[in-house]
Chain A
Amino acid sequence: MKNYLLSLIAVIVLALIAYVGAEAATWPQYVFGIIIPYLAMTIFIMGTIRKILGWARSPVPFRIPSTCGQQKSLPWIKQSKIDNPFTFFGVIVRMVLEVFLFRSLFRNTKCKMSKGGKIFFDLEKWLWVGAIVFHWSFLVVLLRHLRFFTNPVPGCIQFLEQVDGFIQIGLPGIFLSGFALVAGAVFLLVRRIVIPQVRYISLASDYFPLFLIIGIALTGILMRYFTKVDIVGAKEILMGLVTFHPSISANINGIFYVHLFLVSILLVYIPFSKLMHMGGIFFSPTRNLANNSRAVRHINPWNYPVKVHTYDEYEDDYREKMIEAGLPVEKE
């Protein structure tokens, strides 16, 4: 079966399980509203810590930054301080731009060949645009959700909501980020299916999180704009979770549990998958190191002596010939 169909079906089945379960009786609501979220959060935290400690445990024996600009050398040659950092500060700037603006991806080009065999490189910013829209809207949506976990809601979260909801068409006001998230995820999904090379490299585990996130976003949108979930009831459940006084609410319907269940699945999925890239970028030695290993000695903790062919052995091999050729030797 096609990888993406497999992933789509998996997400649909998961959603159905939660929906049917929560609609059928009260006891599954305890499962989907309390037990699974706690379990998921525990796995997420433990798994993420384990992964990060695992990376941290392996040393960085060599200084191997990818240098993407002029090195620091002679004082009158202009150094590219961000793309080829020499100092820790330069590295910080490089990392910030990488993490928040996907600077490397921004360089993206597309290689084309004419019939005559001439190669062209077009700028290709769509992947960058899609990635920026997806990740930033995801972050805004996530931060906006803090209103369900805090009481009183901090001013900065309220401000974020105002900015995000500046378009007012009827009630409730529209949050742009939710739709941008769907659009971004759908773009990344369609691109993955449509571009032959990308489809070729895509695994079921690449489609699954996209469908999952689209599912989460759609159920969120459904609750807010269409089924009009009981916000007070929803907040009660969520506040109960974070204050460790879990409870369920009678007025909450199945869609809410689908939403929560898919989020739980996502949390469990993160530490065991490529979604750890959000932590991994900070550990990437080609980006987080300064290119100064000629000026400052980098230490390899496991550096060990190796067998070398010494000068003395070399001279022993060739002494006669060296003397004959007039080359200086240590032992005549």
Chain B
Amino acid sequence: MSDELLKPDELIANIEPAPPRKGWMDTPINIRKGMYCYASNHKSVASLDLPNARPWNPLEDDWKLPENWKDIIFNGFRERLDKFRSFKVFMDICVRCGACADKCHFFIGSGDPKNMPVLRAELLRSIYRNDFTTAGKVFGKMVGAREMTMDVLKEWWYYLFQCTECRRCSVFCPYGIDTAEITIMGRELLNLLGLNIDWIATPIANCNRTGNHLGIQPHAFKDMLDFFVEDIEEITGITVEPQYNKKGADILFITPSGDVFADPGTYTCMGYMLYFHFLKEKYGLDVTWSTYASEGGNFGLFTSHEMMKRLNSKMYAEAKRLGVKWILGGECGHMWRVINQYMDTMNGPTDFMEEPVSPITGTKFENAKSTKMVHIAEFTADLIKHGKLDLDKSRNDHLKVTFHDSCNPARAMGMLDEPRYVINNVCNHFYEMPSNTIREQTFCCGSGAGLNAGENLELRMMGGLPRANAVKHVHEKYGVNTLSCVCAIDRAALPPLMEYWVPEVEVNGLHEMVANALIIPGENERTTDLRGEPLAGMEGDDVE
């Protein structure tokens, strides 16, 4: 963690208690270190043929924009108003009741009034009123209209990349105004001028070329999973044999590359591999991984609808090429927003696949019959319900678990009880966080929507404060030591957040715990979990 980062108590002391005296339109933008992500790398932007690829620096006055940038924004704005009813309606109907204000984790953690969802949206609405409404043209500032300027544009960039598109505000808004939708449109507009952040621009460039955000080439992807094969063998004595790009497999499995790449997501990845091995040995389930569609996540969602579609297209293309029956999706947050709310519309129809049926239980996944993609937690919950998994819950007894609902599966899908059912069947000690911080009211990790960079750590720690606070509560009350989740970004973002706010809590994935508990024919007696940590009662034994 960077040395310059404030201490937790300093960060709390820094929360602005009240808005400034001056009105928000008169408060100039101050791009502060630790709060913003580096500018997009021009090579990444250029490789995708996105506009205005050039080196630029947000701290410099000159952002190197095309001369007609105001026209580009104006026309882009109008185009999106005409294409998205959501945008048009959300620009018009906010009454500024303020119910959304203290629902945003960034506002709670910073006190910066421009992090109130309502004001984040007003940054765009003020321009909308000025350019597209009669009242705005006649009455100007009185009705909240203002002209587009360079300062306004900088304000957009700064605050639209301080929103994680978590949708918590939209749960509380009496009109369902969704700041995520507004942020998405705002970021699309910024991308018309080449104003992205690099933590998004380079992953999407990678994903386009190599099939995953991390830029892992096919042979390296296989190498990485081969490492896990060795680790799994060491821990369980079982040799798993993952299949790649296999034509004619029953099921294509797609999960975020983050879990292939970095701890602690890697343990979830090992969990998948062990789990698929079990299902293959016992039930003959034929699952293949793909190196071409080796990314479940989709940072295109954080760039533009078009970019989202470009990256997402690989899933169906690969399913078609391999001739699989349906697709199984791993644990990821925004990936499931894309699959649930966009994929079939963008890249369907999927008549080359079959309506998904579990070959083991015969369960038809009616809720996924068109998109033909099933969430692994749905799949696993069904197997457990039918008694198809041999589980030894006590192998997770060293874990006192709480569950973090990831924003998108919660508020853009509603997958709440499936993971809980699985957790309750694979471990004995499960404790919920307070009700205002879970399920549809869950708090963001603070690093979603492409903000999981290193240079904006202060922003991430303040944004993650409400989540960490709830974890701290169950840590102190029940001795919780494990924060489980179904999201690869969470598994990357929550460990530093825990280290900062609640250092005694580790982060894991649902299927890491499934694999811990799974009794596999022919395995050695397990003395450690997938991390090599001793199981409860095995602490004294010599693991080696």
Contact = CB atoms under 8 A, between A and B. Distances in A.
B440 A205 contact: no
Given A274-B95, A276-B92, A280-B93, A307 B49 contact: yes
Contact of A63 (B167, B175, B345): B345
Nearest to A202: B96
Contact of B81 (A58, A76, A107, A111): A58
B177 A297 contact: no
B88 A54 contact: yes
B22 to A, nearest CB: 10
B245 interface: yes
B155 interface: no
Interface residues of A, number: 97
Interface string B358-380: 00000101111111010000100
B378 A274 contact: no
A303 interface: yes
Contact of A293 (B103, B133, B217, B344): B344
Contacts of A253: none
Contact of A197 (B19, B217, B412, B469): B19
A294 B344 contact: yes
Contacts of A326: 222
B64 interface: no
B83 A311 contact: no
B271 interface: no
Given A201-B119, A286-B178, A62 B342 contact: yes
B434 interface: yes
A112 to B, nearest CB: 9
A302 B84 CA distance: 10
B96 A119 contact: no
A60 B87 CA distance: 10
Interface string A107-136: 111110100011101000001000100000
Contacts of A328: 244-247
A171 interface: no
Nearest to A300: B345
A84 B176 contact: no
A272 B136 CA distance: 9
Contacts of B317: 308, 310-311
Interface string A310-331: 1100110110011011111000
A235 interface: no
A73 B416 CA distance: 10
Contact of B469 (A56, A108, A118, A302): A118
Interface stretch (B195-203, B306-314, B517-525, B531-539): B306-314
B283 interface: no
A293 B346 CA distance: 11
A109 B100 CA distance: 10
Contacts of B172: 104-105, 107-109
A63 B19 CA distance: 36
Contacts of A26: none
Given A70-B414, A276-B93, A309-B310, 11 more contacts: A51-B92, A83-B440, A205-B142, A283-B89, A285-B86, A294-B370, A296-B370, A303-B346, A307-B310, A309-B209, A311-B321
Interface of A: 6, 51, 54-64, 66-74, 76-78, 80, 83-84, 86, 98, 102, 104-105, 107-111, 113, 117-119, 121, 127, 131, 195-198, 200-206, 272-274, 276-277, 280-281, 283-287, 291-300, 302-303, 306-311, 314-315, 317-318, 321-322, 324-328
18 contacts: A61-B345, A80-B414, A102-B174, A107-B171, A111-B108, A121-B434, A203-B142, A274-B93, A293-B340, A294-B344, A294-B368, A297-B349, A298-B344, A306-B306, A325-B219, A327-B245, A328-B244, A328-B246
